[in-house]
Structure 1
Amino acid sequence: MRSQPDDVVAVQLLAILNDADAPEGDQLDAAMDLEDHSGAWFEQEIFKILRREQFASVLAQHCAESLAGIWAREGRIDRDFFPELRRTALDEVLGILGARAPHLIPAGTGED
């Protein structure tokens, strides 16, 4: 069983994102604030949200932006999850990484 991170704010942000009754504005704000946090457990939770949102909603777009910001800051991507990205989420990740850390974009990505 994975343990939650010590980052209380990160846990609170994820709680808002997973609360079906949270106002959309609060969820979008929380998604934008994800970039300031890190951790394997945290990223796995973001992956779950992106999958749930089918990589296409406005919420997925904001989560993908933050995820790409985390990856750019940390100088790495999750090579197992990256191939799952598609639709709006992939566009956001490629845009952020292209601007901040183009060397992290896997070869052949987006060349269809």
Structure 2
Amino acid sequence: MGHDISGYNKAGEEIAYARFSMGNYNAILLYSFFDANDYNAGVSGSGDSSTYSIQQIEMALNSYNHLFDKSDSLSDNDPLNWDQKQILNFILNCLATAQKEGSVRVFFG
């Protein structure tokens, strides 16, 4: 079990992916940034998806930036920083797609 969260473009292609083990509390951060706590089923996602606008993803990025200091070094050697980087990349990939297509669909598995 675990949290497999994917972002999709309008063609149904996966454009973003984040994976958290069932005990990794950092998954909660990604759910909260996307205001998607209802999709968190505890040990995994609920299996549902939602469509997000550019503005909603920008809000997720703003929440991320508010929580994490931009000057923090995102070293691949630190597991916490690895999750932080994974979350940021997920948000940025979703934002890039939404800016091109107007929205992005996120699946919480």
Normalising by the residue count of structure 2, what TM-score does the alignment of the two structures yield?
A: 0.31
Greater relative contact order (Cα < 8 A, sep 6+): 2
Normalising by the residue count of structure 1, what TM-score does the alignment of the two structures yield?
A: 0.30
Bigger strand share: 2
Bigger helix share: 1
